[in-house]
């Protein structure tokens, strides 16, 4: 596999459920990111990991919990979400800060909270 | 003031037209700039980086005006396949993260 792979592609969960989103990159990048894209809003940066260390948490509620076990894998653990958390969750990776080449995105997980 | 601002459109143009999108950014310390393209219900994909001297890639030309904190994208000879949302993206600082505009929607009609 190549590029950035996200699973699942679609997820419907109740407000009391616990689920996890998975992201895997095969590009040899050392930085990984979670973004949220809601309707009619710009992409919002949630978390940044550089060499497995979290370097940014953009005031994200604690019901979202990221995990980065190694430079190739990134998870987003979800629990007690709200309906307004329904959105497209995009994972991205970059080589370093991505100054020259920007970021490569996965296809996203479309999350619906019911 | 939003960090990255774009006209949301939509821009409805006929095939073959030339269309230009503009974007302004608020952080004068921003160092890197990009245009991404996002098709409906798909992930954003890098269209082109924007260099200080301006750069061209086929029918696409990107310009940067640091003094005015303004970025533009020009598409010549529009194709139906150019229909998408174009995202202006700014890197916060020299080691910062990518900040996305809301995007400008382009619809190219036959």
- Rounded Cα distance between B22 and B24, Å, is 7
* One-character DSSP codes across B15-55: TT--EEEEEEES-TT---EEEEEE-TTS-EEEEEEE-TT-E
* Least CB–CB distance from B43: residue in A42, A90, A99: A90
Query: For A1-56, what is each residue's pLDDT tens digit?
Result: 569 999 999 999 999 899 999 999 999 999 999 999 998 889 999 999 988 888 88
Query: For B1-52, what is each residue's pLDDT tens digit?
Result: 789 999 988 999 999 999 999 999 998 888 889 999 999 989 999 999 998 8
Q: What angle do CA A45, A31, A93 make, to 5 degrees?
A: 70
Return phi, psi of residue B81, to 5°.
-70, -5
Is B33 an interface residue toward A (CB < 8 Å)?
no
- Rounded Cα distance between A98 and B4, Å, is 18
Whether B96 sits inside 8 A of A104 (CB atoms) is no
A98 pLDDT tier (thresholds 50, 70, 90): low
> Is the separation of the CB atoms in A101 and A94 below 8 Å?
yes
Query: Which residues, in sequence order, are bridge partners of residue A77?
Result: A20, A65
Whether A42 sits inside 8 A of B4 (CB atoms) is yes
The set of residues, in sequence order, having a beta carbon less than 8 Å from that of B79 and lying 6+ positions away, is B15, B59, B108
Instruction: Show residues of chain A in contact with B42, CB under 8 Å.
Output: 107
């Amino acid at each position: 596999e190549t590029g950035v792979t996200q699973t699942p592609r679609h997820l419907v969960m109740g407000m009391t459920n616990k689920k996890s989103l998975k992201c895997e990159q095969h590009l040899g990048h050392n930085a990984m990111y979670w973004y949220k894209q809601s309707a009619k809003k710009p992409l919002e940066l949630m978390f940044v990991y550089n060499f497995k260390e979290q370097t940014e948490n953009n005031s994200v509620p604690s019901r979202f919990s990221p995990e980065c076990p190694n430079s190739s894998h990134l998870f987003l653990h979800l629990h007690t979400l709200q309906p307004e958390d329904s959105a497209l969750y995009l994972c991205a990776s970059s080589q370093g800060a991505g100054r020259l080449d920007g970021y490569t995105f996965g296809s996203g997980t479309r999350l619906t909270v019911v | 003031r939003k960090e990255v601002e774009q006209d949301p459109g939509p821009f409805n143009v006929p095939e073959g037209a030339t269309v230009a999108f503009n974007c302004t950014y608020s952080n004068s310390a921003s160092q890197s700039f990009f245009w991404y393209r996002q098709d409906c219900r798909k992930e954003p994909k890098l269209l082109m980086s924007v260099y200080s001297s301006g750069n061209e890639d086929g029918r696409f030309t990107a310009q940067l005006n640091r003094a005015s904190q303004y970025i533009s994208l020009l598409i010549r000879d529009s194709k139906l396949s150019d229909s998408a949302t174009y995202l202006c993206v700014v890197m916060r600082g020299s080691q910062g993260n990518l900040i996305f505009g809301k995007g400008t929607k382009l619809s190219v009609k036959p």
